[in-house]
Amino acid sequence: MIKNRQMAYLREYFGSINLNELNIVKVFISDMYDAYESVRSRYFPNAIHIVALFHVITQLTNAVNRLRTKVMNTKAKKGSLAYNFMKAHWKYFLCRSSKVPDKFYTYTKTGEVLHYDDLILECLKLDLDLWSGYAILQELFSYANHYYSFEEAVNFINRIVSRLHATTSDILKTVAKTYHRWRNEIANGLAKSQRQMKYTNAIAESLNNQLKTIIKSAYGYHNFERFRKRAMLIMTYGKKPI
């Protein structure tokens, strides 16, 4: 656990590790923060750099959510059926379509009743870019785990990038640029290894969420060392039986 992820702190931390240990690392998993590529190339020359699928999907879901907010505020009349549904049930625009509940939504002003699937479709029709972003996100959800070779994975990412670039949204085009910049590392994460397995940094992300919870519950810390000791104590002994 280090104070932050600025390069000075990253160099200090990784530079303190024995060179022999760094050289035997085979896999380096990160998000799409530019500094991590510098860290990987400098300290882990023998490791394959992988961008975890979680971060790839998060990049696009954040973009789709920004589009949803923009469309809700500019193309849906405040208080309308579409506006109320997009505001109250925003999470269904960011998940797999198969996870949308088989339920009906009642618009109290008119008594109109529509299925969630139909309402999502009506909201998407308000804006072509929102429709495109949602469709691309669903493709990423549906097909990301179907690619086994590196070449197949690269072709898949290139297709996603092309579809994002074809939109008129600067938000989606920015995601396209990021995906293109990290396409090889993303493909490494999508492709299966020689052991027919896929790598993930889910454990690290889980620990990171625990750290955020610790900070939130204490309303922040002014002293990093005090926070570090507190976090290590909770994460080491918190789940052990007394």
**Domain tally, the chain:** 2
147 and 191 in contact (C-beta within 8 Å)? yes
Q: What is the value of pTM for the model shown?
A: 0.84
On whether both 176 and 229 belong to a single domain, the answer is: no
Q: Which tokens belong to 123?
A: 């909201």
Give the model confidence (pLDDT) of 42-87 as tens digits.
999 999 999 988 899 999 999 999 999 999 999 999 999 999 999 9
* Residue 139 domain flag: yes
Co-location of 83 and 172 in the same domain: yes
| Beta bridge mates, 200 | none
Computed over its alpha carbons, how large is the radius of gyration of the chain?
22
List, for residues 110-150, the tens digit of each pLDDT value: 888 999 999 999 999 999 999 999 999 999 998 877 777 88
The answer to whether the CB of 201 falls within 8 A of the CB of 209 is no
Residue listed under structure tokens 């492709």 = 191
Q: Return the pLDDT at 199.
A: 75
Do 63 and 149 share a domain, yes or no? yes
Q: What is the pLDDT of residue 218?
A: 87
Report the alpha-carbon distance of residue 207 to residue 91 in Å, rounded. 24
Place of tokens 């954040």: 62
For β-strands 48-51 and 104-107, DSSP reports them as unpaired
Please give the residue range of the domain that contains residue 150.
Answer: 54-181
Pick 102 or 197 by higher pLDDT: 102
What lies within 8 Å, CB to CB, of 192 at 6+ separation is 148, 198
